[in-house]
A and B are shown apart, each in its own frame.
Chain A
Amino acid sequence: MANRLYLYPIWLRIWHMINALLFLALIVTGLSMQYSPVENPLIEFQTAIAVHNIAGILIIAAYIIFMVTNFSSSNKKYYVMKKKGLMDRLMKQSRYYAYGMFKGESTPFPVTEDEKFNPLQKLSYVGVIYILLPILMITGLALLYPEFIVHKVFGLNGTMLTALLHMFMGFLLTLFLLIHLYFASLSKKKFANFKSMITGWHEH
């Protein structure tokens, strides 16, 4: 089976599964706390707070384990962005999604042992793992321990700014999830990518 690649080791799949479930729990409870009406909350406020806090702490723990394992494994190589020709590669991949794909062209960056992500995928994963998730987690922790938050920032309420940043990151990540899910579904065979994320094997 030359066209099978083992790309998703077991620890990665477990992290990913846990991360996805916790993230969904965080989205639902977060939205419920902030937006559901008084009379019939989506989830009871107290329950929502408790679930959100626990899921938040667990997702941070999972993230730390992911970072440590990722850095001590060969998987880290997929998260290195090379600056040279980056723009070109991004344009090429975007052109493929917006045009070439409809023409039946084959992908410009086929999945290989050395490069499992296409340039757009890589950009979004690196952004999510190194920037968005850390900010989300740090602001979340700060809201859990508000005594560490600066009370006033240029005359504005520090907690409010922290909360706004937290919500904005949550929003961007939910948007990421939406797009992530859609592009993961774009495989030749139906659900092939989702299967990969369960078995670990990528099939061409």
Chain B
Amino acid sequence: MIKLSHKYSLVFLLSFAVLFSSAQEEVREYTNAGENHHCLKCHGQSFYTFYNDWTELDVRKIMPQEYYVDTVMFYSASHWDFKCTDCHTEDYQTFPHDGELRMEFLNTCVDCHGGDEDWEHFKFEDIEEDFNASVHSPETLPNFSCWSCHDPHSYKLDYRNTEDLISTISKNNDACMKCHNQESHMRLHTDEPFKDLATSHEFLPNQRAHYNKVRCIECHGDLDGEALVAHKILPAEESVKNCKECHSKNSLLMASLYKFQSQENRKKFGFYNASILNESYVIGASKNYILNVFTIVVFALSILAILTHAIILRISKKKNHGK
């Protein structure tokens, strides 16, 4: 009975995955779904069952959150057509898993994507170089890897082909917040005292508005890098603190967050930085040329009119006096 219900839940979940992905892509064929189901029937649920040889009973146990793999996310991720055992060793087929398996070697992005023409446009090598020079470099934080931000079971290419920038920003920032807003995660990497974001960014008003409309890397990334997404995260003291970097006519946002859009329609309805306007209103960056000219002209004319009035009044007063 239990087996059967698992099958149904798989069909159910997969049809969800198809629904989610078919919006943008052709219908996918999940060639490995059957095999992965063997792992996901445990890792894809909040509990798992196994047959205890010693007591000769079926046992139901809680699956620790840390070992949970979201099925829908997995099948809509960039690596959706993977078998679990493409990355993990086949030995995981057996349960209980052998204790030594936790020492398995896991490939990094560059192990698979490096030196490959098909992936050249992503500039994996440049990204690795930037990563190694960043504050998160494996030299300073040995437990850190590409996987620390790119969740192996849900990472999905987003910014490059986004149509909803706000949701992309939120997903990108979540990747940073997962650690920087959560002490328990930071503890995996460092013994330094935890500093929460709200206090370290006290200088920034409307913090929520900023985190919703710009990515952390706008201020923390080295924007001179080769890759589309900055991967060289600079130390705190080298980060952008000058508000005018964004809140001005030549806003850095045009070179980072709006890199794609900025090439087209630079000026729309007479707006500078028009592409920002679709998503945000940035004080100082979103200026209207026509409105600027209009206000200056009206002001100048008013002052001129007042001056003329004042001069005529002076002259006429003298005249009236003379009479």
Are the C-beta atoms of B243 and A102 separated by less than 8 Å? no
The total of Cβ contacts below 8 Å across the A-B interface reads 75
Are the C-beta atoms of A159 and B280 separated by less than 8 Å? yes
Q: Which residues of A contact B287 (CB under 8 A)?
A: 34
Q: Which residues of B in the span 164-190 have a Cβ within 8 Å of any Cβ on A?
A: none
Are the C-beta atoms of A38 and B302 separated by less than 8 Å? no
Give chain B's interface secondary structure class: helix
Output the least CB separation between B283 and chain A (Å).
6
Are the C-beta atoms of B244 and A157 separated by less than 8 Å? no
**B 251-271 binary contact with A (CB < 8 Å = 1; else 0):** 000000000000000000000
Q: A46-B203, A164-B291, A179-B302 are in contact. Are A157 and B279 (CB under 8 A)?
A: yes
Are the C-beta atoms of A38 and B244 separated by less than 8 Å? yes
Nearest chain A residue, comparing its CB with the CB of B287: A34
The segment from B66-74, B224-232, B308-316 that touches chain A is B308-316
Q: Which residues of B in the span 8-30 have a Cβ within 8 Å of any Cβ on A?
A: none
Q: Which residues of A in the span 8-66 have a Cβ within 8 Å of any Cβ on B?
A: 33-35, 37-38, 41, 45-46, 49-50, 53
The yes or no answer to B284 lying at the interface (CB within 8 A) is yes
The yes or no answer to B145 lying at the interface (CB within 8 A) is no
Are the C-beta atoms of A182 and B310 separated by less than 8 Å? yes
Q: Which residues of B in the span 91-114 have a Cβ within 8 Å of any Cβ on A?
A: none
Cα separation A104 to B321 with both chains bound (whole Å)? 9
Cα separation A186 to B287 with both chains bound (whole Å)? 37
* Residues of A near any B CB (own CB < 8 A): 33-35, 37-38, 41, 45-46, 49-50, 53, 97, 101-104, 146-147, 156-157, 159-160, 162-164, 167-168, 171, 174-175, 178-179, 182, 186
> What are 15 A-B pairs with beta-carbon distances under 8 A?
A37-B248, A38-B248, A46-B205, A101-B316, A102-B316, A104-B320, A157-B277, A159-B280, A159-B281, A160-B281, A164-B288, A171-B295, A174-B299, A175-B302, A182-B309
Q: Which 6 A-B pairs have the closest CB atoms?
A: A102-B316, A159-B281, A45-B243, A104-B320, A160-B281, A38-B244
